[in-house]
Amino acid sequence: MSGTGIATAQEQYYDALWSKTSVVEPSAWALWETISGYVTGKSRILEIGAGNRPRVPISGSYFVDLSASAMQALRGRNGHCAAASGEALPFADEAFDLICALEIVEHVPDDTALLQEIGRVLKAGERFLFSVPLHMAFWTRHDVLAGHVRRYDPAALELLLPQYGLPIEKYCITSSPRNVWYRNATALLAARFWSLGVMLESRMALPAYCWLDRRRGMKWRQGSFAEQSRGANNVIIVTRKQ
């Protein structure tokens, strides 16, 4: 598949996903227990790239996404929405009390520009919560189809974040299938059968994942996560701006 073909496939997939599926409530995710504690007393909350699966309260929060369909859906729920890139956030310095970007940073071509923007618009002492896939050794066709630019080396990520005033406060290692054959096969099926893939993902895979996610819960740890994540496929990280 050519680079143009891949870009077209990604656009088709996300447009289909957000336009043909309903908004998933933030409380559906295990992460809600953590985020609900962070949003108490906060009036300025931003989520980058939420699609129609936001993790922060929808009404009154701010959302940035390149998908017009997703922004229309969240705007209908009283979200403040802007179709924009995370690499150039349309907000003033230190405008937010909490910023989230789940399954987004790995999609951004210039992740350093994104981190710089987050550090700019986040108030001092407040949190940036995000998740990324780990280890290029786990790279498959699924990453290409999903639009990932990279997977992260844990040690390099630990060194990168403080450069933007965002040292790690705590982290949670999460699991998802990393078998190469399985991930390549599911990506191939999704690429060839868009409508079926969207239907199965929204009606079967997503509800099952949310149920397992809540049942498993969040196991937060502090300190260095490089040694703890050698075989991990994903990590959720909470940083706190210096």
143 pLDDT above the threshold of 80: yes
Query: What's the confidence (pLDDT) of residue 179?
Result: 55
Query: What's the confidence (pLDDT) of residue 188?
Result: 59
| CATH of span 3-240 | 3.40.50.150
For a pLDDT cut of 70, what percent of the chain falls above it? 82
Compute the distance between CA of residue 75 and CA of residue 61 in angstroms, rounded to an integer.
10
**Closest-CA residue to 234 (of 152, 159, 155):** 152
Compute the distance between CA of residue 80 and CA of residue 91 in angstroms, rounded to an integer.
12
Contact 84, 113 (CB under 8 A): no
Q: pLDDT band for 195, please (50, 70, 90 cuts).
A: low
Q: pLDDT band for 158, please (50, 70, 90 cuts).
A: very high
Query: What's the confidence (pLDDT) of residue 231?
Result: 84
Query: Under DSSP, is residue 186 helix (H, G, I), strand (E, B) or coil?
Result: helix
Query: What's the confidence (pLDDT) of residue 74?
Result: 95
Q: Tell me the whole-structure pTM to 2 decimals.
A: 0.87
Query: What's the confidence (pLDDT) of residue 227?
Result: 85
C-alpha distance from residue 167 to each of 134, 184, 187 (Å): 18, 34, 34
Token pair belonging to 222: 């502090």
The residues spanned by each domain of the chain are 3-240
Query: What would the pLDDT profile of 111-125 be if each residue is shown by its tens digit?
Result: 999 999 999 999 999
Mean pLDDT of 169-173: 95
53 pLDDT above the threshold of 60: yes
153 pLDDT above the threshold of 60: yes
Mean pLDDT of 156-177: 91
207 pLDDT above the threshold of 80: no
Amino acid making up residue 1 = M
Query: What would the pLDDT profile of 73-108 be if each residue is shown by its tens digit?
Result: 999 999 999 988 899 999 999 999 999 999 999 999
Query: What would the pLDDT profile of 3-32 be if each residue is shown by its tens digit?
Result: 444 445 555 667 667 777 789 999 999 999
